[in-house]
Amino acid sequence: MTECVALIRGINVGKTKRIPMSELRSLFVGLGHDNVRTLLNSGNVLFRCARPNTGRLALAIQRAMADTCGITASVTVITAPILSAIVRENPLLRVAKDPSRHLVAFAAQPRTLAALRPMMDESWTPDALAVSSRAAYLWCADGVLDSKLSRMFARRAGETVTTRNWATVLKLLAASTAVPAAKDQARLDAACRRRVVSPPRTMRP
C-alpha cells in the first residue's frame, strides 16, 4: 500500500464549495481507500492506496465530489515519496524565511509546470520563483496578497495548479510519514497543530 496525498483546489474558501472534513473522509472511504485522514480544513486528504495511478485517482475523486457533494473542484494527487522529494528539492529555503509567505504549487501534469518555466526569466524582486519538474516554489516577500508574482502566477496557471503554504506542506509531510490509523484523526489534528518541523537542508541553488 502506498501513502498518497490529495490536494483539492479552492474548497472551504469563502461561502462557496463548503464541505465538512468528516464528509470528505467518508467520500474517500467510499472510494475504497484506507487510513483516510484530513489535515486542516482546506482540502488536504491523506490515504493509502494499492498501486496508485495518481491521474486516475484524481479524476475519480473529482467525479465523486461532483456526484456526492455537488462540488466541482480540481484535484491533484501525489504519493508521499514525491511529496518528500518536493520538500527536499526546494531551492528557495535560503530566502524564504516566513512559511506563510512561501508557497508551493502542485500540478497534476508536468507539462503545466513546463509552461510556467519562462516566468523564471522575468524579474520578480523582491519575490522569487523556482519551477522544477515536480512543483513550483514562490517566495512572496511582502505577503501573498500584495505579491505581483503571486497574482501573475495564479493568472497564468489558472486552475491547473493548487498551492499550499510551506507550513502546510511540512505538516503534510509529517502526517504522510506517520501513517496513523483513521481512528486517530483527532490526535493527528492536534499533533500537526503542535508540531514544529524543521525544513530539510538543501544544496545552494
pLDDT for position 180: 54
Nearest Cα to 45, choosing from 25, 19, 73? 25
Decide if 140 contacts 127 (C-beta within 8 A). Answer: yes
pLDDT for position 3: 97
Decide if 82 contacts 104 (C-beta within 8 A). Answer: no
pLDDT for position 118: 96
Boundaries of every domain in the chain: 2-80
pLDDT tens-digit profile, the chain (205 residues): 899 999 999 898 877 788 999 999 999 999 999 999 999 998 999 999 988 899 999 999 999 999 999 999 999 999 999 999 999 999 999 999 999 999 999 998 889 999 999 999 999 999 999 999 999 999 999 999 999 999 999 999 998 899 999 999 999 999 998 745 545 556 555 555 555 444 444 434 3
3-state SS, residue 6: strand
pLDDT for position 16: 79
What letter would DSSP give residue 9?
A: S
Distances (CA, A) of 25 to 31, 89, 130: 10, 30, 33
| pTM assigned to the model | 0.85
At 134, which amino acid appears?
R
Query: How far is residue 172's CA from residue 45's CA, in Å, rounded to a whole number?
Result: 9
* Residue linked to cell 488536504: 44
CATH 3.50.50.60 fits 2-80, yes or no: no
* Residue linked to cell 523564471: 120
Write out the three cell numbers for 15: 461561502
